[in-house]
Amino acid sequence: MKLRRWTAVAAVAVATAAMLNTVPATAGRPYDPTAQSLGTLGQRHGLHIGTAVDMDALADPADPRYRELAASEFSSVTAENVMKWESLEPTRGSYDWAPADAFIDFARRNDQRVRGHVLVWHNQLPGWLTSGVADGSISREELRELLRKHITTVVSRYRGRIWQWDVVNEAVSDPWDTPSTLHYKGFWAQHLGPGYIADAFRWARAADPKALLFYNDYNIEAFGSGDPANDKTQFVYDMAKRLLAEGVPIDGVGSQGHLGTQYGNFDTFQVAAALKRFSALGLATAFTEVDVRSRLTEGVLAGDSEEINPRLQASASNFSVLLKACLADRHCLSYTVWGFSDRHSWVPDWFDDPPEGLATLYDEQYRPKRAYQEVKADLIFAGPPYVLPRATHRPRR
Ligand code: XIL
């Protein structure tokens, strides 16, 4: 009995020493994981931690901290706007590559992987395209050909530079749309029919055999949210399964992860279960646009800490739920936040009635918020047996 207890203690000591040996030490100073960037800490799990990058903020000489943090804290980047069709081809037939090229260069200089965003979406389309379709001067056949050309041109230009492409974004309706039963919504489904989805993946694959091709959407964090007959996650799951059965080269499903503290949201196990169901289809997954906004009530705006504190804590907790669920699934390859500072977040611009904000990891003065610390803690304290290195995903032919 005594001997056995001693053996157990010794085994723990040996294991601990072995683990300590694997921890890098810097010239005599003890290793301090909290001093590492999120990107570096993600590497232990093979998980890339990314951010959306606002190219105007990046170029602002008065805002050097934005550049520093975008470069140092993250191992993956997504262009917040400059790779969208309206930015790339503002005038028909003439592409303005400069901002997107600058973005790709930034990623290369900082050794960051790139999520390409976005090839097919109903928003931020050039005016010439939408008005041409509206006035009938662009026919259905021509529209399909324009889409093929756009995908081919953009994917070819950045071939070899893009890790994951968001090929199709937000194709599925929400229960509050009309009709309320889930359907393929928006410009592309309306004018080309849902077949454009399979086409888009095939055209993207033809232009870059090495990028992982993703379908990306919001409100798909978990199954069983609301009426089971009207479950958006289930709809996307069925769609992905059908595309795979048809041999369409889809490699992953991206869950945007735009949450709000005023909603019920999900627990870690519900989110992990959803990721597992997608990966059981053979797909990679990713959180692609995480932010957790809050209502800016009069109290919040007046600086009332009793109103601010619970919101900051709830935001941190929701960032953490998505990250832990991602860590728990080896096929969840990246966790990207949609902007890292409240100084540059789309939330106040987009959700202004009633006003919302406080959605990111850093406040407007670039002070890390509780959400930042919780994300960091999750990356530090996770490990085997429940959190394992990422699986390898190869593009499907
Ligand atoms: C948003 C950008 O953050 C804003 O700057 C822009 O005005 C509108 O688009 N889902 C997406 C992203 O896939 O492209 C959107 O980005 C946010 C919602």
The model's pLDDT over 37-78, given as tens digits with 9 standing for 90+, comes to 999 999 999 999 999 999 999 999 999 999 999 999 999 999
DSSP letter, residue 26: B
Q: Whose CA is nearest to atom 4 of ligand 1?
A: 346
Spatial CA neighbour of 359 closest among 351, 7, 208:
351
Give the list of residues 6+ apart from residue 337 with CB closer than 8 angstroms, or none: 50, 51, 52, 289, 290, 291, 319, 360, 361
pLDDT at res. 9:
40
Range 228-258 burial, b when 16+ CB lie within 10 A, else e: eeebbbbbbbebbeebbeeebbbbbbbbbbb
Whether 4 has a pLDDT exceeding 90, the answer reads no
Identify which of 338, 342, 343, 352 to mutate to test ligand 1's pocket (most ligand atoms within 8 A of the CB): 338
Instruction: Name the residue of 55, 170, 350 whose CB sits within 8 Å of the most ligand 1 atoms, as the mutation to test its pocket.
Output: 350
Among protein residues, the one with the nearest Cα to ligand 1's atom 16 is 80
pLDDT of residue 2: 41
The pLDDT value recorded for residue 3 is 40
Question: Is 138 in contact with 146 (CB distance < 8 Å)?
Answer: yes
Q: Which stretches of the chain are DSSP H helices?
A: 2-22, 38-43, 55-58, 64-72, 85-88, 98-109, 127-134, 140-157, 186-192, 196-207, 232-245, 268-280, 298-301, 305-327, 346-350, 370-381
Please give the distance, rounded to the nearest whole angstrom, from the Cα atom of residue 290 to the centre of ligand 1: 12
Cβ contacts of residue 364 below 8 Å, gap of 6+? 341, 342, 343
**Res 133: pLDDT:** 98
pLDDT averaged over the chain?
94
Cα 250 to Cα 19, 105, 156, 194, 273, distances in angstroms: 39, 27, 18, 15, 21
Of ligand 1's listed atoms, the one at least distance from the Cα of 346 is 3
| Residue range 349-359, pLDDT digits in tens | 999 999 999 99
Which pLDDT score is estimated for 234?
97
Please give the distance, rounded to the nearest whole angstrom, from the Cα atom of residue 84 to the centre of ligand 1.
Answer: 10
Which residue has its alpha carbon closest to ligand 1 atom 15?
80
CB distance 328 to 386 below 8 Å: yes
Calculate how far, in angstroms, residue 353's C-alpha sits from the geometric centre of ligand 1: 17
Indicate the top mutation candidate among 54, 81, 214, 351 to test ligand 1's pocket, ranked by most ligand atoms within 8 A of CB. 81
Nearest to 133 by CA among 86, 83, 195, 192: 192
Nearest to 114 by CA among 159, 176, 156: 159
Which residue's CA is the nearest one to ligand 1's atom 7? Answer: 346
Atom of ligand 1 nearest to the CA of 166: 13
**174 pLDDT higher than 60:** yes
Q: What spatial distance separates the first Cα and last Cα of the chain, rounded to whole Å?
A: 59
DSSP string, 292-361: EEEE--HHHHTT-HHHHHHHHHHHHHHHHHHHHHHHT-TTEEEEEES-SBGGG-HHHHH-BTTBEE--SS
Those residues with Cβ within 8 angstroms of residue 145's Cβ, 6 or more apart along the chain or in another chain = none
pLDDT confidence of residue 29: 85
Tell me the percentage of the chain whose pLDDT exceeds 90.
91
pLDDT of residue 228: 76
**Spatial separation of the C-alpha atoms in residues 360 and 368, rounded to whole Å:** 9
Cα 373 from Cα 383, distance rounded (Å) = 18
Residue 168 and residue 150: Cα distance in Å, rounded?
13
- Over residues 306-310, mean pLDDT: 98
Q: Name all residues whose Cβ lies below 6 A of ligand 1.
A: 80-81, 169, 256, 289, 346
- Ligand 1 centre from 10 Cα, in Å? 55
In the DSSP assignment, the letter for residue 260 is E
Can you give 233-258 as a three-state secondary structure string?
A: HHHHHHHHHHHHHCCCCCCEEEECCE
φ, ψ of residue 265 in degrees (nearest 5):
55, -155
Cβ contact 215:253 at 8 Å? yes
Euclidean distance between CA atoms 344 and 363, whole angstroms: 10
Contact 223, 233 (CB under 8 A): yes
What amino acid positions are annotated as catalytic residues? Answer: 170, 289
The alpha carbon of 30 and the centre of ligand 1 are apart by a number of angstroms equal to: 42
